[in-house]
Structure 1
Amino acid sequence: MAREEYSVETRAQIVALVMIAKMKPQDVAILLNIPRVSVYQIVQRAKEHGYDPTVNPRIEHEHVANNTRSGRPKVVTEAIEASIIASITKDRAGREKSAEYLAYEAVETRAQIVALVMIAKMKPQDVAILLNIPRVSVYQIVQRAKEHGYDPTVNPRIEHEHVANNTRSGRPKVVTEAIEASIIASITKDRAGREKSAEYLAYEAGISESSVLRLLKLNSFNKCKPTVKPGLTDKMKQARLAFALEHQHWTLEDFKNIIWTDETSVVLGHWRGSNSVWRRSFECYDSTVIRRRFKKACEFMFWGCFSYDAKGPYHIYQKENTAAKKKAEKELQIINRDREQAAREEWELNNTFSRLQLRPRRGRKPNFKFTTKNGKLEILVPKLLPFAQECKRSRPGTIVMEDNAPAHAHFHQKEIYSFHDVQRLPWPGNSPDLNAIEPTWFWLKKRTTLQGAPGDRKTAVEAWEKAWERLPQHHIQAWVERIPFHIQEIIRLEGGNEYPEGRPQGDVRSRCRRKGVLSFRAYLEDEWEDLE
């Protein structure tokens, strides 16, 4: 068997010299610096593959191609193939369970011509008659080999570049450098340019749409989903920058003292993350492929909290009937009536001296405002504060981070924190990148819609409770560890959020590619089948 590193050009050259030029195999072996046994094997294989110069002297690819190797035993049997197809087409879950072509261009004939003319010293016209090729083509192939550096006196072995086709110039280029620069400038100018279609860009530049698409591909442009970030006003940026500057020297140990809290809305029938299905071209309307879309409405609110060391309690807000609402409003009125007078007196004391200035000051006159929201006392007293007291045993410096929602700014809620000796961390508004619990919601929504978005409240509640219990602590720790990096980026951007969130070293997760073992992104169906 010939050694695999011999190219088809070399094998065609050997066959031409031995079987047409009638050179001895040992002479060819010496000429090309190839073992004699390899020359014999290449010639023998050409004969076995049907090459007979007396019938057709032209060497085809199959005459000098490598023999088909058996390789290892086939793993994918017909039974396995049938089971995979059945698993895909079984139901909607099967459709979501997670090509290569090789091209070859023959150059055997050109290598044969070069070998016969430049080594066997046959006349080009004789080679043309022998192979039934125009004589001018023989001259051109030999001349091209010389131009590409082939010299049998230096190295008689024919390489691919000696007989390869010349690069063709094609028609004159329409897209000049000036047009290319103008298209890229039009795209990168502003957000409107980023959303222009290829048809519109082609109209602006006066070229075809396919030319625009080809140009964009060469410059690594892809049509992608836009990056979504919260909108920030100048006041919000200033608050974010002030928070970042105040905590820029905090270490990871300092952030481990924080209890992160937040809440999110759960929408029935709503998917999170990208979902693909396996289907054939004619199955686009198969019942297992179609995904139903329903009118979206918030079904319930989910609240949770955790720290670096422990996962805290969660709470699902229940629907209030009329009697419960009236009872809550009555209790709230009592709290607000008792607390509003004290809050007003405190405000008057703090603003007395600023209001006594003789010279008038610009701006609106300060007015007393009192928040009348309920302060979410159903979470604070029975769930959050006990968890905070438990965390203080191991970390005495435990503090609670809450957003600036009106309910969290209620005076009565502040008094409860003070009464239980639990400190709060002021949080700049509209800054999910500064709250480590924000990535939790995407993780939970992805897991709870893994086998389909829940269609009723009971199933959704069970799925969220189960997903919260299964939330790994190492994920929580990773989300906390990226906060110091976010703070440095906010300082660099002067309060902006135009940066990729996450730890600077990236993910350290290990990929699993072993047969019979699932990677971390794959999930078994039986984990969620009890929710169906």
Structure 2
Amino acid sequence: MVDNQYVEDKPRSGRPTKQDPSTVDIILSKVRLDRYGREKTCADIAGDLSKLGINISGTTIYRVLKNAGFRKTKPTRKPGLTKKMRAERLAWCLAHESWTLEDWKNVIFSDETSVILLHRRGGYRIWRTKDERFLRSCIRERWKGASEFMFWGCFSYDKKGPYHCWLPETAQEKRDAEKEIERLNNEIEPTLRTAWEIETGVRRLNLRQNPSGRKPTWKFTAKNGKLGRGKRGGIDWYRYQRLILLPKLLLFAQECAIERPGTLVQEDKAPAHNHHIQQRVFDAAQVQRLLWCPNSPDLNAIEPAWPWMKRRTTRKGAPKTRQEAFSAWKAAWQELPQERIQQWIERIPWHIKQIIELEGGNEYKEGREKKQQGDWEDV
């Protein structure tokens, strides 16, 4: 055996490596600087370094990033949150922090998702390591957009509920809606007028002992509760009430309440759901509702169902026609396992805990606890 003290390296030919520590640090800092750095190509980074007098190829930069544990991958998608939304999320989670799984078993989760024909998932990629998935610069906000049609569904911990594929409203349906809304307005106007007169009279007495000026007169407008429809079409309060609430959701809630008397219906604050007339419908059906906070799919157990169903309906190619899409989505809903639904509901308490720690934020990995290993997994 030769002692190391009698051995030394022979001079080698070739240029020295350009991957010196200072250059590597500059490359990594360029990538980690912000969201735009994450999206740069190796050639872009090489161009930035050339301005600093560092001549290095895109191939070498790729090797540097790969050796540092980076790979080009899709950015994490999360809903955009304003300060107000974060505050509302935090307040909502604090109010429900003490809820147990048994409490969540009483909730019916419902929502809609958009379906786009011939849609294939994909897009640009960013640089990140496996531990940087939920850094702010690695997240791209997801905002609401257009779709070919909407699919609605609901379920509870114990059973899967009805579904609905939204079709465009016909001219005859619009005419029928106008007549029905006119009938409803004639029905509710006397009650609203009486309430307005009492409120107005009390307010004038509080302002002055002898109120002066012109006495207000009743005008039945949207501000005072008159029902109407917008001109944009789509899913409004009337269509949601007539096609979802009355024939499907409330009947399912009443069915669930037989086994679970404390049944609640979860809805987000979409205008169609949050219209003031909908509360009258819930009250008439003796069903309680649980309003959600905005832009919080991580708190709605039905949201993970949509990626599952979109993978299911496009595994043999995306549907080419609306009828093909209808059939595929109906079949996928029937195939959705109840065990998977239960897993999505079971992870809500964990999500609430994470949101509270992040003060309303959503920069965390969604998942549930592994029963044996004690850590968390995606489901």
Normalising by the smaller structure, the TM-score range is: 0.7 to 0.9
Matched, 1:398 2:263: yes
CA displacement at 1:300 relative to structure 2: 2.8
The question of 1:416 aligning with 2:281 is answered yes
Partner of 1:61: none
Alignment equivalent of 1:238, drawn from 65, 87, 96: 87
Work out which of the residue numbers 30, 45, 51 in structure 2 matches 1:186.
Answer: 30
CA deviation digits over 1:23-68, x for unaligned, max 9? xxxxxxxxxxxxxxxxxxxxxxxxxxxxxxxxxxxxxxxxxxxxxx
**Aligned pair partner of 2:250 in 385, 406, 409:** 385
Task: Please tell me whether residue 261 in structure 1 is matched to residue 110 in structure 2.
Answer: yes
Give, in angstroms, the shift of residue 340 of structure 1. 5.9
Q: 2:109, 2:267 within 8 Å by CA — same for their partners in 1?
A: yes
How big is the shift at 1:355? 12
Matched, 1:177 2:27: no
Aligned equivalents of 2:358 and 2:277: distance in 1? Answer: 37
**Aligned amino acid, residue 222 of structure 1:** R
**Deviations, residues 179-217 of structure 1 (Å, cap 9, x unaligned):** 222222222121122122222222333231233222111
For 1:494, the aligned partner's letter is E
Q: How many angstroms apart in 1 are the aligned matches of 2:204 and 2:273? A: 27
Q: 1:232 to 1:421 in 2, by over 3 A?
A: same
- 8 Å CA contact 1:266–1:298 kept in 2: the answer is yes
Q: Does 1:334 align with 2:186?
A: no
CA distance 1:441–1:171, change in 2 (3 Å) = same
C-alpha deviations, 1:223-252, integer Å up to 9, x for none? 111111111111111111111000011111
Which consecutive unaligned segments of at least 5 residues does structure 2 have? 124-144, 209-221, 229-236, 371-375
Which residue of the partner structure matches residue 99 of structure 1?
none
- Give the aligned residue type for 2:245: L
Q: Give the letter for the 1:425 counterpart.
A: L
Aligned partners of 1:169 and 1:434: how far apart in 2? 61
Alpha-carbon separation, structure 2, partners of 1:323 and 1:187 = 57
Give the counterpart of 1:465 among 316, 322, 330: 330
SS at match of 1:146: coil
In the other structure, the counterpart of 1:323 is 172
Which deviations, in whole Å up to 9, do the C-alpha atoms of 1:453-475 show, x marking residues without a partner?
22222222222111111110001
Partner of 2:2: 146
Partner Cα separation in structure 2 for residue 228 and residue 237 of structure 1: 17
Question: SS of 1:181's equivalent?
Answer: helix
Judge which range, 322-331 or 264-273, deviates more: 264-273
Map of 1:54-203 to 2, 5 A cutoff? 146-147=2-3, 171-203=15-47
Letter in 1 for 2:334: E
Q: CA 1:493–1:168 in 2, change beyond 3 Å: closer, same or farther? A: farther
String of CA shifts for 1:229-282, please: whole Å, max 9, x gaps. Answer: 1111111111111110000111111111100011122222223589xxxxxxxx
TM (norm. structure 2) is 0.75
Q: TM-score, normalising length from structure 1? A: 0.55
Greater CA drift, 413-422 or 457-466: 457-466
Q: Equivalent residue of 1:486, what SS?
A: helix
Kindly indicate whether structure 1 or structure 2 has the higher relative contact order, using CA contacts under 8 Å at least 6 residues apart. 2
CA distance 1:224–1:482, shift in 2 (3 Å): same
C-alpha contact (below 8 Å) 1:266/1:302 kept by paired residues: yes
Q: What SS is found at the alignment partner of 1:386?
A: helix
- Relative to structure 1, the CA distance from residue 400 to residue 187 in structure 2 (aligned partners, 3 Å threshold; closer, same or farther) is same
CA contact (8 A) 1:273 1:446 kept: no
Asked if the contact 1:400–1:424 (Cα under 8 Å) also holds between the matched residues in 2, the reply is yes
Q: 1:436 to 1:297 in 2, by over 3 A?
A: closer
Q: 1:24-43 residue pairs with structure 2 within 5 A?
A: none
Q: 1:442 is matched by which residue type in structure 2?
A: P
Question: 2:80 is paired with a residue of what secondary structure?
Answer: coil
Output the CA distance in 2 between the equivalents of 1:343 and 1:192.
54
Give the structure 1 partner of residue 99 of structure 2.
250
What's the offset of the Cα at 1:482?
1.2
Matches of 1:241 and 1:210, distance apart in 2: 45
Is the alpha carbon distance of 1:169 and 1:445 closer, same or farther for their aligned partners in structure 2, counting shifts above 3 Å? same
Counterpart position of 1:20 = none
Summarize the Cα distance change of 1:297–1:492 in structure 2 as closer, same or farther, 3 Å threshold.
closer
Provide structure 1 residue ranges, at least 5 long, that are not aligned to the other structure: 1-144, 150-161, 275-295, 359-366, 510-532
Q: Give how far 1:418 is off.
A: 0.9
Secondary structure (helix, strand or coil) at the match of 2:356 reads helix
Residues 242 and 345 of structure 1, relative CA distance in 2, 3 Å threshold: farther
Deviation at 1:325, TM superposition (A): 1.2
Please state whether the residue corresponding to 2:108 is helix, strand or coil.
strand
Matched residue count: 323
Aligned with residue 476 of structure 1, among 325, 334, 341: 341
Q: Aligned partners of 1:418 and 1:212: how far apart in 2?
A: 64
Confirm or deny: 8 A CA contact 2:109 2:156 kept in the other structure: yes
Distance 2:361 2:224 in 1: 30
2:272 aligns to what? 407
User: CA RMSD, aligned part only?
Assistant: 3.3
After the TM superposition, which residues 430-449 of structure 1 pair with which residues of structure 2 at under 5 Å, given as runs? 430-449=295-314
Give me the whole-angstrom Cα distance separating, in 2, the residues matched to 1:214 and 1:357: 76
Helix, strand or coil for the counterpart of 1:454? Answer: coil
Q: Of residues 228, 248, 273 in structure 1, which corresponds to 2:77?
A: 228
Specify the SS of the correspondent of 2:44: helix
Query: 1:178, 1:341 → 2: CA distance?
Result: 78
CA offset at residue 430 of structure 1?
Answer: 1.2
Shift of 1:346: 5.4
- Which amino acid is 1:392 matched to? A
Which residue of structure 2 lines up, in the alignment, with residue 17 of structure 1?
Answer: none
1:432 and 1:451 map into 2 onto residues whose CA distance is 27
- Structure with the greater alpha carbon radius of gyration: 1
Identity, % of aligned positions: 48
- Structure 2 residue aligned with 1:89: none
Q: Which amino acid aligns with 2:106?
A: N
